[in-house]
Amino acid sequence: MPTDEITAAAAGTWMLGDRRVHRMGFGSMRLTADPDRDRAIAVLRRAVDLGVNHIDTAAFYRSPGGTLGVWTGPVRYATELIRAALAPYPQDLVVATKVGFACDESGRVGEAATPVDLRRQVEENLRRLGRDHLDLVNLRIVRRPGRDSVAEPFGALAELRAAGLIRQLGLSNVRLDHLDEASRIAPVVCVQNSYSVDHNRGDDDLLRACAERGIAFVPFFALAGSRREAGAATDHGAAVEAVAAAHHATPHQVRLAWTLHRGPHVLAIPGTGDPEHLARNVAAGALRLTAAELATLD
């Protein structure tokens, strides 16, 4: 499908807490794997030019670290790239970040963060973004069967929200019982989980619960599916390929369109370091699938 003149507005909007955002956003994780800093900055600026006003990041998006591969240059944080590219920030831009992992000096994530760790991560986000408050902070948990309550860490973030350091709160990598528990402590405006047309469909019930409560559901790895950090999926299945051919679109565009069709409260945050991929991702917000096509994909 053509990408000319298609902006993030084509995907529609959603009230993310008290801020209206386009439902097609941008994820910044992969920018830290690009040794070309100028290109990463250019992609961020192009995203905003295309109407993206919801950018996702995290305290632990950095290089080297995680599964982003061997890194030989200086440590680079996604939050610092965002600041370099976009400060002073557009008034309508929402930068959502995540905290929750304790990281070692190499950037590799480990145990769940303590309340002290969480405050330090919030303060690091403020410093690296150059902000006096954070628009949205998602608590990213490490699920531990039998001992994975979110009450203590979410309560710590609620205190930082009350102190004015955070505007809105969300959750990441959670179940419905986590959402119930957190909602008794402070308002939750979004849930961010790994979810795609062919991955983690056990979260369909959680997605529907968010819709009923007016909470945004924000899938990550919508393009990667079960490949997760390894990158965008290459094996899409016959149904995705057939729908893509019918619309003269790419399978990745169909994946994003399917994501947005899951409900008006669903936001997409595909990430890329390639400006052409960025334009195609944004254009997917204009792709309208029929009921029959959606049934086939499901």
- Would you say residue 191 lies in a domain? yes
Q: What is the pLDDT of residue 30?
A: 87
pLDDT at 110: 62
201 inside domain: yes
Domain-embedded: residue 1: no
Phi/psi of residue 194, nearest 5 degrees: -70, 125
- Give the whole-angstrom CA distance, residue 228 versus residue 190: 21
Residue 18: pLDDT band by 50, 70, 90 thresholds?
very high
* Confidence check: pLDDT of 163 > 60: yes
Confidence of residue 67 (pLDDT cuts 50, 70, 90): very low
Q: What is the pLDDT of residues 80-91, one digit of tens each?
A: 999 999 999 999
Separation of alpha carbons 254 and 234, rounded Å: 13
- Domain of 184, CATH number, reads 3.20.20.100
Q: Is residue 4 part of a domain?
A: no
- Average pLDDT taken over every residue of the chain: 88
Structurally, how many domains does the chain consist of? 1
Question: Residue 3: inside a domain, yes or no?
Answer: no
pLDDT of residue 177: 94
116 domain-assigned: yes
Catalytic residues: 61
Query: Residue 2 domain-assigned?
Result: no
- Distance CA(231)–CA(62), nearest Å, equals 16
* Whether the predicted model's global pTM rises above the 0.95 cut: no
d(CA 111, CA 143): 10
Could you list the residue range(s) of the whole structural domain that residue 39 is in? 10-297
- Residue 285 three-state SS: helix
CB neighbours of 298 closer than 8 A, spacing ≥ 6?
A: none
pLDDT 10s digits, 31-57: 988 888 999 999 999 999 999 999 999
Tens-place pLDDT, residues 204-244: 999 999 999 999 999 997 885 444 454 455 566 888 899 99
Question: What average pLDDT does this structure show over 17-23?
Answer: 96
Q: What pLDDT, on the 0 to 100 scale, is given for residue 225?
A: 46
